[in-house]
Amino acid sequence: TPSDISTALQLGIEHSVGKLSSKHERDVLMQDFQDIDVVFFPRDGSTSTPAHHHADFTFKTYAPIAFRFFRELFGIKPQDFMISMCDKRLKEIRNPGASGSLFFLTNDDRFIIKTVQKKEAQFLQELLPGYYLNFSQNKKTLLPKFFGLYSYSTSSGQRNIRIVVMNNLLPSVYQYQVKFDLKGSTHKRKASKNEREKKCPTLKDLDFKTELPEGFGVDPTIYDSLTRTLERDVRVLRSFKIMDYSLLIGVHKLTEVSRSWSVSEADSRLRSASGGASSIDAVTATARLGRIHAYTTSGEAVMLFIGIIDILQSYRFIKKLEHTYKSILHDGDAVSVTSPGFYSERFVNFCKSSVFTKRIGKKLRYYYL
Amino acid sequence: TPSDISTALQLGIEHSVGKLSSKHERDVLMQDFQDIDVVFFPRDGSTSTPAHHHADFTFKTYAPIAFRFFRELFGIKPQDFMISMCDKRLKEIRNPGASGSLFFLTNDDRFIIKTVQKKEAQFLQELLPGYYLNFSQNKKTLLPKFFGLYSYSTSSGQRNIRIVVMNNLLPSVYQYQVKFDLKGSTHKRKASKNEREKKCPTLKDLDFKTELPEGFGVDPTIYDSLTRTLERDVRVLRSFKIMDYSLLIGVHKLTEVSRSWSVSEADSRLRSASGGASSIDAVTATARLGRIHAYTTSGEAVMLFIGIIDILQSYRFIKKLEHTYKSILHDGDAVSVTSPGFYSERFVNFCKSSVFTKRIGKKLRYYYL
């Protein structure tokens, strides 16, 4: 069961972070990106692993030194990471996509754990040097923040699970009226009736055009910074032949009252939720990178939570066949699965012309700059 | 002749930098490290290249975008780089090593141009991502600063030359009493009689032990910072299986008078030598990273110019055979050609225990921190 998996993961991660903290801090080298740490957890325990109620399993930590370095860059201390990941039960969350992945959220709302396929895990490892290169140049990046890559496999071979740990784009202390998952494509990009009836539905490109024909109005300075960041991020994705990623937008409505206090209020709730950890400022600072104030077509003030998601399905591995197949069935222009260059251009153009528009108005406090 | 070569190089570099400056600035991507720009220079000129007095040649610029980015990191503007490299005749300098390379110095004393073998050029390209990774973490690095990698080949195939552009470790506005080229090895590490008779000889490990039995005394804070930097640099070299590199030390004696003013005086001479370029502060700032104040065994105050040199002869490519051969002939401990791990440890230990020692004394102004 998912709950079984999550407690086994916690055992593995606790051990991995603990082991790592005994290692001296040092610079990251190129081969750290390829490194894998393997630990066997027999049911009855061993000199270095505790006894447990699962079947014997092997836990692998990919690129431990490199990910420690990434966590540091994002202001996450080893102790805080361990507490977030291991101290309390992980919450399973309903699969937001159609990928068949399991999703867990840490109790303090900071991290998302997602199961990934073998190809995706391999691809993430390949991606790491470029991912580092991008982050070191482009601090405002909206690409997913990866904090760890692990695998859990039973000795019987029955179960083999790989997970990534990522930032939680949509902190649950905020309420979202609606979310958008946008690709810049029109083919099948409409939420199902089922989805639309949810309390906070995830809508798609065609829905967006209907709901917000004029897009989100944002301050011109923010608009320029945001679209520039999107262009830079997408250039990186394109260079890795990645496509089929989405722009995720969580829309939090600012009421007359909340306009003045909701943000700092929610921040302090977030702070207390995570136990007042000292690194919380770094976390909220990171989180704020993906937040902007905007206006809807009808003039409502909203706060948007923005990030690029689903970047691990590499074109090279998965999409080539799919493309060959689909391009026969449909008009290439409308299919979201096509070439990385075409995909990235359409994506950015859609964001620049339809999702966001420049709007000069009352300046609210905004967080994206 | 060398002079022929240098003017052809200048043609190529001028064209390359000019072409690059027309390209939009953007983030460096992983594949930029592999990129090669190829331009043909026919004798009679073409629509994009000038006529010249050399035989037809092809000029290649390796990783143009990545090196532009490195130059920027080191505070070198495109315009300044072009002026330094191309405006005046390059000075040929006498080969300081036994490598058979040609060396040129730019007229403004800022850059050294060195011919390298094909294997070395290939190796530098392989090294670039790790080199970047190191620089982004370790700003004080004493590794060579590479600003460009080019090749020049005649159509006849008679001539095929690869060059790297590097920082000039020893600005000629300072006078050096002596230079040391240290490896931490004892085998054959003694300057020839011929060398010792020069005005500013380059001495080696055994000479160092005789001349400075107590090493250079440096302030404890500087000592810690310097040895830490050497450890970090050497870890990078080791990770690439590099060995046989040297620590180069240029010793500039501080006289009673010069103690108080020589440094700033020389800096301002350096400034005027390079035409008062606005980026000179960045250059001297970079240069200063490799400068420390120290005392000789006899108590003389000196300024040391320090850097690690000769890192491109990779163990993997060149040294394996040599090792097999030499380790039979000599005691492994004393041979400088052995394994990268052993080499790096011996190198650092020698620097930490014999080359530099902690000395608490009058604090002079020092530049390394």
Q: Is B317 exposed, middle or buried (0-12, 13-18, 19+ CB in 10 A)?
A: middle
Model pLDDT, residue A334: 43
Residue in chain A nearest B241 by alpha carbon: A31
> Rounded to the nearest 5°, which phi and psi values hold at B181?
-120, 105
Residue-wise pLDDT tens digits, A178-234: 999 999 988 888 999 988 898 889 999 999 999 999 899 998 988 999 999 999 999
Flag the least confident range among A94-98, A176-180, B67-71, B131-135.
A94-98
Is the confidence metric ipTM above 0.90 for this complex?
no
| DSSP character string of A120-170 | HHHHHHHHHHHHHHHHHH-TT--SPPEEEEEEEEETTSS-EEEEEEEE-SS
Is B232 an interface residue toward A (CB < 8 Å)?
A: yes
Most confident of A285-299, A326-340, B167-181, B280-294: B167-181
Query: Backbone phi, then psi, for B162, in 5-degree steps?
Result: -115, 140
Q: Are the C-beta atoms of B32 and B127 separated by less than 8 Å? A: no
B236 shares contact with chain A (CB less than 8 Å): yes
pLDDT band at B183 (very low <50, low <70, confident <90, very high): very high
- Smallest CA–CA distance from A31 into chain B, residue: B239
Between chain A and chain B, the number of residue pairs with CB atoms below 8 A apart is: 50
How high is the mean pLDDT in each 10-residue block of chain A (369 residues)? 82 91 87 94 92 92 94 90 91 71 90 92 92 89 95 88 93 90 89 89 93 91 93 94 93 67 52 45 50 85 92 65 54 56 93 91 45
Quick one: pLDDT at residue A174? 87
The partner residue sitting opposite A30, judged by closest CB among B31, B130, B138, is B130
Give the tens place of pLDDT for each residue, B198-251. Answer: 888 999 999 999 999 999 999 898 899 999 999 999 999 999 989 889 999 999
Do residue B232 and residue A138 have CB atoms under 8 angstroms apart?
no
3 state DSSP class of A53: coil
Please report the pLDDT score of residue A331 as a whole number: 47
Which chain A residues have a beta carbon less than 8 Å from that of B68? Answer: none
Residue B276 is predicted with a pLDDT of 43
B130 touches chain A (CB under 8 A): yes
Tens of pLDDT along A236-274?
999 999 988 999 999 998 875 444 444 555 555 555 544
List, in order of start, the domains of chain B with CATH numbers: 2-167 (3.30.800.10), 178-358 (3.30.810.10)
pLDDT of residue B297: 80
In A183-340, where do the E strands start and end? 202-203, 216-218, 246-253, 291-295, 301-309
pLDDT of residue A269: 54
User: Which among A29, A134, A136 has CB closest to B130?
Assistant: A29
Mean pLDDT of all residues in chain A?
Answer: 83
Asked if B28 lies within 8 A of A137 by C-beta distance, the reply is yes
CA A334, CA B93: separation in Å to the nearest integer? Answer: 63
Question: What angle (nearest 5°) sits at the alpha carbon of residue A144, between those of residues A139 and A147?
Answer: 90
What are B241-253's pLDDT values in tens digits? Answer: 898 899 999 999 8
Mutation for A interface: B29, B123, B140, B348, most A CBs within 10 A: B29
Nearest to B30 among A28, A136, A239 (CB): A239
